[in-house]
Structures are given as structure tokens and as C-alpha cells.
Amino acid sequence: MSWIQKLYETYEQCKGHEPEGAERLLPVSHTFQQAHVEVSLDSLGNFKSARTLGKEDTVIPATEKSAGRTGKAPPPHPLCDKVQYCAGDYTEMGGGKPSFFKDYETQLAAWCASAHRHPKAEAILAYVRKNRVIADLVTESVLHLGPDGKLLNNWGRDTPVPEVFKVLTSDAKTKLRDQGNVFIRWRVHEPDNPCSAVWEDEGLQAAWAKYDASAKATPGICMVTGEAGVNLALSHPKRIRHAGDGAKLISANDGSGFTFRGRFTDDTGQQACGVGYEVTQKAHNALRWLIQRQAYRNGDQVIVSWAVGGAPIPDPFGSSLTLLLAGGDAAEAPTVIVDTDAGQAFAKRLSLAMRGYRARLGPADDIVVMGLDSATPGRMAITFYRELTGSEFLARIERWHIDFAWHQNFGKDKHFVGAPAPHDIAEAAYGRRLDDKLKKATVERLLPCIIDGQALPRDLLDSTIRRACNRVGLERWEWEKFLGIACGLYRGAFKNEGYEMTLETNRRSRDYLYGRLLAVAEHIESRALYVAGEKRDTTSSKLMQRFADRPASTWRIIEPALTPYISRLRAKRAGFMFEMDKLLDQIISCFMDDDFLDDSKLSGEFLLGYHCQRQALNPPKPDVATAVEEDTSAD
């Protein structure tokens, strides 16, 4: 139960201290709901106006049962609810579903009769008792009647479809849209209260929370806080990932059979999981708040990391570019994202960003990383959970970005040095059209590599390298992106080899040298095509995949194909060709023994040699280099 304890502590420390402009933490005994219609009343409960909203997430008071209501007779919410609950004239106006107005009115009346009543709730009660909700909404053209004076269940006219029918979902069997499903939220205009919205009135929220707490009578021991005699939760909140989410983290609705027999003395599940009502409300509200603010999402998969004390932390699922621009002071954040050196400028900027996080996050502060996913609509599982100290978390994030850093090219205006994001790695390994299940699985496999420092899965590395070698099967920009990612992954996976992000002329390994040879051959042919005004792929780019599988035999194809281009360059670019001849001789002379004749498959190391040699032959433009030097000299 440590996860719920950490979330409860997060709520206690962050409530009332939310960052400026951020969404507020949800109060106890409240939930989120998508509202479709807004009705305005005066302080005496007289109707003023109504308007359609589309779908707006709204904070509403809720009971323990209504927050997770299901079944044929779902319990009502205390204040804001659907038309079939709030409208006493629903059945009279031809509603197609059962009316729950009596239960709604009884519950609201009990609140208004208690010591914790609120004037806004009393005004709403006075209005709904007039049984004119649907009549007033029809007058305002929010709801619509048919020729028979009954509520329409579909819009079959030639005129534009009203907003209310656009937000309603059709019944799976009848394909009809019942306007009784329209959700209403209230505004009550009071003379001395500038806040008319019930979902923003903190006084009303506090009044309902006190009344709801006073109505509970399920004492027991809370397994989270250890307190005895507290009211235990009979059910736990849903709508964790979004307002329409029906999955729960804690659920037990099987009170019969052999679920608890032989283990506990009752069949309610309270002895199996006794959590205080206030504790579970605060914990789930904190989790919902964190997910909305800073979670990584991929369909139903959610991974969120946070500091229990509320301090900002780096996003473990962002690329190094995201980390550099988010860490440190805004005035010091680098706007230039290309390095011309061997990564020293990147290391300095990364150190500056991590220093900014360490200034706000203590070394002993609690950090939690939590992954959630659901296989069915009603059940959710914790797929990953780690608790770390602040210093440990920052050290592992920094190590990931240092070990897997490389020159990345993600588009025309997005070049940077650093580690790619996990979702970019998934695309590089399996293509941009990978399905959600494979993407989820890949991200989950990368999470321990980032958080725990585990080794990169070898099959993931091999798949990324294989796609980077298949140059002819990719668009130019896509291949450039995948090449940088593959180099970064290989460098991180074999960090003990000490690969640099610049050309290593003293490295004499066979694979590295063959990569350099391919880059030089491509450079020669590209220059010759440019001189002749031709635009087409080079022989080296076409044969890159074959070169990776059989380098020696493929080089015997590439080298003769260069002859006409070399002749052209010797006639028109003699100085250039002189340097290229000298470079080719230098690289070939570095091969050890019979390595040059070895035709076995190349490892991903040849991509490092290729990329570094190509970058040395095509250095960045002077204006970018100047900007980088100015940025690094400021440290």
C-alpha cells in the first residue's frame, strides 16, 4: 500500500500550494464529470438562463456510491446531474429512461436540512421542486421536443444538428440518443457572492464534504495511516486518467462465493483492504491531478513521476532537448540546440539543467515513478512502481542522457545533442506505424533502463540498427532521425567502449573503419553529382543495407563505381579529390591484419564511424557554431 500512502502525502503537502496557473487539487467527496448544459438561477431558485457547453470537465459533489455508480439504478449525485435525475418533468415530457428525480430530491433535501447546508444548494432545491427543468431548457432551445410535444430521441430534420445531439452517444441497441443523458451544472447568482459557479465555490465544496463525512458510519483501521476508528471506504474512485475513465485501482464487488472465505471473518472485503474514506479520496485525487499535469500517455497507458513534496522534477520520458529547455532558469535556457564539439557543450548545459533541479529538490526527497494500464474498462493495474530519493533519481536521469547522447536530427529546425525520448526509440525500432500495444510494450521495457539503469534490450538495439541501415526504405528526414537514434542507443549500450561523439581517427576497429569508408565514398559521389548538377541517390546510399551485411564484397562494388566520379572531380575539383584520396588511403591503412578482407556482418559500430566521418566532412554552418560558442562560454 505504499503507493497510496505516497499519493496521500502528496495531496497533504501540495493542497493549497499548487503552482500558479495549474489546476487545483480536487476536494474530498468530489469528482470530475463532463457537463453538457449550464443552468443559471438567482438566489431564490428562479430560472434565469441556460446554455449548451459541448463537453466541459466540471468538479461536482459526489457521494461514495455515486462517484463510481453503475447498474440499472445508479445513485444520484448530490447537486449536478443528468436531466433524468434533476428534472421532475422528465417522465411527463416523454423521457425514454427511468426517472430518478425522487432519489435526487430526497438526497439534496437531506443536505439542505442539515447543519452543513449551503444557500446555493437550497436555491437549486427550490428550483428543481418546481418541476420545470425540461420546460425551461426547451424554451431556451437547449433541449428539443418533437411534434407530439415529447423529447426527441434523434435529430432527423434537414436543419443543422443542435449541439446537444452532438455530445450525446447513441444507445448500442436502439441507436437513439436520449436527452435525459444531458448533464447539467448550475450557476447561482447571489447578491454578496461574486462566485456564481457551484463548481468553483470553495464554501459549497467544504459544506458538502463535511455533510458527507457526517453521514458515514463504517469505522475501522486504515491500513495506510494506521489510525483506528476512522470511516473506511466502501468503494474507491474511478475517473482517474480522464473524466470518462471507468477503471479502478481498488475494486471488490464480489461478496459471494469463495472470494474471502477462509481468510477473513467477513465477506465485505474491508479486512482485506481497509482504507480510510478521506485517505483514498485524497490519494486518488492527487493521482488524477498528477496525471493531468505531467504524465506520459499512450492510449490507456499512463506513466507519471513526481516528487512527494511537490518540487519540479525532470521528465524521464522526454528527450534531452526537452530536459535542457525545461531545467534551469528561463533566462539561462539554451535556444541553440546544435553542438559542433564532441559533446562538451551538451554536458555543460545538461549539468546546468540538473543543477536547477537539485536547487529545488533535496537529496533525500521522495520521488515516485508509477505506471498504470488497463486491459478491461473496469479494472486498472499498476504496471511499474519505484520509490527513489531525489539524488538517486536525478543521478539516473542524468546518466541516461549522458550515456545515450548523440547528434540528433529530428527535422529542419530540431537538431540537438542528447538522448532520444522513449516513444522516438519505439518508432525507430518498429516504424512510425507501430500499433499501440507494441508501443506500450516498448516503452515499458525502456522504463527500467532509464529509472533503474538496466541494460538496453539487445533485440531493441538490433531492430533500431537494422532499420537505420535500410536507407532506401525510408524518407530522407526519417532516415536521418533513425540514424541518430541508432547511434545513441549503440553508444549507450556499449558505454564501456568509450565512444566519442566526434570522429576518432585513432580507433582501428574494423566496423568503425568500414563506416568511415562508406561516408567518404558517399561524400565523393555526392560532390561529383553536385558539380554536374544531378540530383539522385548515391551508390553508397542504395547499397547501405548490403554493405552492413557484407562489407568487403560490397566495397568491391562501390569502389569501381566511384571511378567516373573521381575522374570528373580530378578535372574540376583537383584539390578536393587530392584530400579525399589521402583520406581513403589513411583509413584503409588503419585496418589490422585481414580485417579489410573480412566479409562478415558489421555491428552497429559502423554507424558511429559513418556518422562521425560524415559530420567531419560536412561541418555545421558558421552561424550555428558561433551561437553555440556564445552559449557555452557563458557558463
pLDDT digits (tens, 9 = 90+) for 360-390: 999 999 999 999 998 888 889 999 999 999 9
DSSP classification of residue 412: T
Question: Rounded distance, CA 546 to CA 534, Å?
Answer: 24
Share of the chain above pLDDT 90, in %: 64
Helix (H) or strand (E) holding 455: none
Predicted confidence at residue 263, as pLDDT, reads 64
Among candidate residues 393, 397, 320, the one with its CA nearest the CA of residue 363: 393
Determine the residue type at 38.
E
pLDDT tens for each residue of 452-481: 999 999 999 999 999 999 998 899 999 999
Lowest-confidence range among 62-71, 281-290, 357-366, 385-394? 62-71
Predicted confidence at residue 333, as pLDDT, reads 40
Angle 68-74-76 from CA coordinates, rounded to 5°: 85
Q: Are 558 and 564 a contacting pair, CB within 8 Å?
A: no
Residues paired with residue 407 on neighbouring β-strands, in sequence order: 417
DSSP classification of residue 195: -
pLDDT tens for each residue of 179-230: 999 999 999 999 988 999 999 999 999 999 999 988 888 888 888 988 888 8
Question: Rounded distance, CA 294 to CA 287, Å?
Answer: 11
Predicted confidence at residue 332, as pLDDT, reads 42
Cα dihedral value 334, 340, 343, 347, nearest 10: -20
Q: Return the higher-pLDDT residue of 70 and 627.
A: 70
- Give me the mean pLDDT over the 117-124 stretch: 96
The radius of gyration of the chain from alpha carbons, rounded to an integer in Å, stands at 32
Q: Return the higher-pLDDT residue of 266 and 36.
A: 36
Predicted confidence at residue 73, as pLDDT, reads 83
pLDDT tens for each residue of 557-610: 999 999 999 999 999 999 999 999 999 999 999 999 899 999 999 999 999 999
Q: Which residues contact 482 (CB under 8 A, 6 or more apart)?
A: 428, 464, 467, 468, 474
Would you place residue 237 in the very low, low, confident or very high pLDDT band (cuts 50, 70, 90)?
A: confident
Predicted confidence at residue 255, as pLDDT, reads 58
pLDDT tens for each residue of 148-165: 889 998 887 778 888 889
Among candidate residues 529, 528, 599, the one with its CA nearest the CA of residue 557: 599
Predicted confidence at residue 336, as pLDDT, reads 43
Collapsing DSSP states into helix, strand and coil, what is residue 418? strand
Would you place residue 632 in the very low, low, confident or very high pLDDT band (cuts 50, 70, 90)?
A: very low
Would you place residue 432 in the very low, low, confident or very high pLDDT band (cuts 50, 70, 90)?
A: confident
**Average pLDDT across the chain, whole number:** 88
DSSP classification of residue 243: T
Number of Cβ atoms within 10 Å of the Cβ of 107: 20
Among candidate residues 483, 470, 462, the one with its CA nearest the CA of residue 608: 483
Going from N- to C-terminal start, the domains of the chain cover 2-216, 308-497, 510-629
Would you place residue 328 in the very low, low, confident or very high pLDDT band (cuts 50, 70, 90)?
A: very low
Predicted confidence at residue 342, as pLDDT, reads 62
Asked if residue 623 has pLDDT above 90, the reply is no
Predicted confidence at residue 75, as pLDDT, reads 92
Asked if residue 631 has pLDDT above 60, the reply is no
Asked if residue 356 has pLDDT above 70, the reply is yes
Would you place residue 264 in the very low, low, confident or very high pLDDT band (cuts 50, 70, 90)?
A: low
Terminal CA-CA length for the chain: 45
C-alpha cell at 235: 468503494
Predicted confidence at residue 331, as pLDDT, reads 35
Predicted confidence at residue 496, as pLDDT, reads 94
- 248-278 b/e with 16+ CB inside 10 Å = b? bbbbbeeeeeeebeeeeeeeebbeebbbbbb
Question: Rounded distance, CA 38 to CA 152, Å?
Answer: 20
Concatenate the DSSP letters of all residues of 545-557 into one string.
Answer: HHHHH-HHHHHHH
Predicted confidence at residue 624, as pLDDT, reads 40
Lowest-confidence range among 120-134, 272-286, 316-330, 413-427? 316-330
